């Protein structure tokens, strides 16, 4: 395809599978490639955003980083959907819990993604677009969590643009039943909707905004394997 490589992905068309599992941290991507994929081949290192294609239980799959925040995942997922023929993107990320029913290590399957971002303004809609995941992916991910005995919740997350807020106020989101906060799912879901493709975000709780539970950077790379295995089960 003449439009590949893109400005941000160095792969040729055909080097990336139709299903891509993405994480913000390229080191988590490398961990997935080395520990879950057979015969992984690196297809990208532009800007250090690692990407690999291999097989999992005989099924072809790619894993790739998407960086932090809506602008970053917006660029990478747009190029994957629109230039590389990708049909499904599953984000395996970390999230900070709002719900008191969630604890470090639990999973959140993001049915919808609220946002304080202006990313959706580009579509010139006369209202507020509600970014949602693909229902079949949600259902199968939930079933897999149940089968494995993994603690999880399905519901709304907040995709925020701001990590260090000058005026933090989460009470409104908590009152509306938002389960957790992360920084990418809404843009992923919008790009999937606009391109007519599928998306899902599965997040591991890495910290709790209210109780102060927390994890280390190393733990976020190497111990969040439940969500990786759930994502790979959806191939």
10-42 burial, b at 16+ Cβ within 10 Å, e below that, comes to bbeeebbbebbbbbbbbbbbbbbbeebbeebee
Map tokens 């759930």 to a residue: 230
38, 116, 207, 214: the catalytic one is: 207
Reported as type and span, the H/E element at residue 220 is helix 217-222
Q: Are 95 and 157 in contact (CB under 8 A)?
A: yes
- The DSSP annotation for 17-34 comes to -SEEEEESSHHHHHHHHH
Task: State whether residue 94 is helix, strand or coil.
Answer: strand
Residue partners of 150: CB distance under 8 A and separation at least 6: 106, 107, 226, 230
Task: Tell me 82's DSSP state.
Answer: H
Looking at the DSSP assignment, which residues form a beta bridge with residue 55? 38, 60
CA 115, CA 185: separation in Å to the nearest integer? 9
- 197: its two tokens: 């493709």
**Does residue 166 have an active-site annotation?**
no
Residues tagged active-site: 207
């Amino acid at each position: 395809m003449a439009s590949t490589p893109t400005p941000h992905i160095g792969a040729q068309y055909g080097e990336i599978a139709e299903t891509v599992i993405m994480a913000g941290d390229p080191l988590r991507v490398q961990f997935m490639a080395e520990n879950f994929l057979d015969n992984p081949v690196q297809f990208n290192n532009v800007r250090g955003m690692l990407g690999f294609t291999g097989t999992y239980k005989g099924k072809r799959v790619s894993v790739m980083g998407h960086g932090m925040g809506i602008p970053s995942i917006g660029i990478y997922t747009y190029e994957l959907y629109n230039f590389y023929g990708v049909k499904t993107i599953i984000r395996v990320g970390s999230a900070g819990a709002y719900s008191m029913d969630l604890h470090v290590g639990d999973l959140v399957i993001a049915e919808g993604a609220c946002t304080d971002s202006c990313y959706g303004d580009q579509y010139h809609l006369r209202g507020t677009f509600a970014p949602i995941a693909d229902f079949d992916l949600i259902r199968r991910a939930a079933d897999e969590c149940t089968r494995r005995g993994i603690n999880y919740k399905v519901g709304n997350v907040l995709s925020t643009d701001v990590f260090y807020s000058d005026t933090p106020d989460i009470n409104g989101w908590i009152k509306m039943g938002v389960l957790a906060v992360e920084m990418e799912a809404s843009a992923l879901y919008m790009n999937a909707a606009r391109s007519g493709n599928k998306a899902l975000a599965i997040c591991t709780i890495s910290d709790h905004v209210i109780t102060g539970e927390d994890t280390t950077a190393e733990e976020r790379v190497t111990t969040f394997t439940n969500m990786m295995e759930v994502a790979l089960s959806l191939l």
